[in-house]
Chain A
Amino acid sequence: MATLRLWGSIAANGGVSNSSGGFTVSNPSTGIYVIHFSPAFTSVPSIVATQTNYGSTGEANTDGAAAPLVSNTSATIITGDSKGSKQNRAFSFVAIGAAARPLTSFEVLAQPIAPGVPDIPYVQQGFFTQITNTDPSPATVNLVYESSPGFIASNGPIMLFTNMIDQTGAIMQYPVATFLDAPVGFKNISIPAGDTILLGVQYLLLPSAQNPSKVTPATGGTPQNSQAARGMFSLNAAPGTSLMVLSTVRQVFTNYTPASTSTNAVVLDVSEAAYSVPLAGGPLVTF
């Protein structure tokens, strides 16, 4: 298990005086501050907070801070006076919790290889990760994809697909809505001892009733629809878990008839590519 430690010194107005980074703060009402974690923890963190920087020794020792709402993605801090009346007060906090281990960067996209050019290849690129549980007991893993821009379920004829091939070789669709819940990724995936699974994320350009011409452009030329997510891929598992991990990029390049020569353009030909990407610390990952 990787551990994420966030800390911050927050001014009474909600401004961040000093911090580890990795969060934002808002002050929605008097004495209430909401801290949003980014990236999210993979379980509820422990958070401690103390009023700081009151500005004089006239402060009461009972001027406290509480954290009544804590989740993977945020924590609500309450500050006030010694009578329990909510007041905006500066405070410091430390949040510690489980987090995924960063392994590599990734890019998932469906777009013309150069935006705005009509007669060029269209590329659809997916990011796939094979995980082998090398332990003698079952493992549960979480795969986290932090990206900018973030993943979306669909954009016109482009749809997000999240796939899994389990240890029996069965191919299944992982629910996109579950994938998009924070933290974005595959959650609580079980791998029997010694078995291997494969998880893939890809944007695919598909025909749609609203816009069928985007796949076989009636006027020729490469579709200009575009959607991409680029960021950091992380993995989390229980302490002691040993995995062998291999991430690959797979690409499909599709060519279209030039706009100037077609009245009913079709896909001309396809080329493909697949290659592995290096992972921080190598393919053997022990938590």
Chain B
Amino acid sequence: MSTTLWGSIAANATTTSSSGGYSVASTSAGIYVITFTTAFRQAPAIVATQNNFGNTSEDNTDGVAVPLVSTTSATVITGDASGNKQNRGFGFIAIGNT
């Protein structure tokens, strides 16, 4: 069965809105670990974009990377345009089979 998890995560790692089905922890500046309540059967596809910076002076290169993805969790990295890790709000969508 295909399962879609989504969330709007604030910079302080609180969930603004979500599908449910996961928890988020900020383990250090700019690093967030999303733990899936029910494990996917294989590592899901996950996409993420910085959300809710708060004004349009944000740099379009303020990116998000997801360097670690497993059936049970995903690690999300956020930061500034120079690659410095910083806590930033982001939105994500994870899709996979459960």
A81→B17 CA distance, assembly (Å): 30
Chain A residues with CB under 8 Å of B18's CB are: 46
Cβ-defined partner of B93 (8 Å) among A44, A78, A79, A96 = A96
Number of interface residues of B (CB under 8 A): 30
B67: min CB distance to chain A, Å: 15
Check if B47 sits within 8 Å of A68, measured CB to CB.
no
Chain A residues with CB under 8 Å of B63's CB are: 62, 64, 66
A286→B57 CA distance, assembly (Å): 43
Cβ-defined partner of A67 (8 Å) among B16, B17, B49 = B49
Whether A67 touches B56, Cβ cut-off 8 Å, given contacts A46-B17, A47-B49, is no
Chain A: interface size category: 20 to 34
Q: Which residue of A lies closest to B19 (CB)?
A: A3
A14: min CB distance to chain B, Å: 15
Cβ contacts A to B, 24 pairs, < 8 Å: A43-B17, A44-B16, A45-B6, A46-B7, A46-B93, A48-B91, A62-B61, A63-B60, A65-B49, A66-B49, A66-B50, A66-B53, A67-B51, A68-B57, A69-B53, A76-B56, A78-B59, A82-B61, A84-B81, A94-B93, A96-B6, A96-B93, A97-B8, A97-B17
Which residues of A come within 8 Å of B, CB atoms?
3, 31-32, 43-50, 62-70, 76, 78-84, 86, 94, 96-98, 239
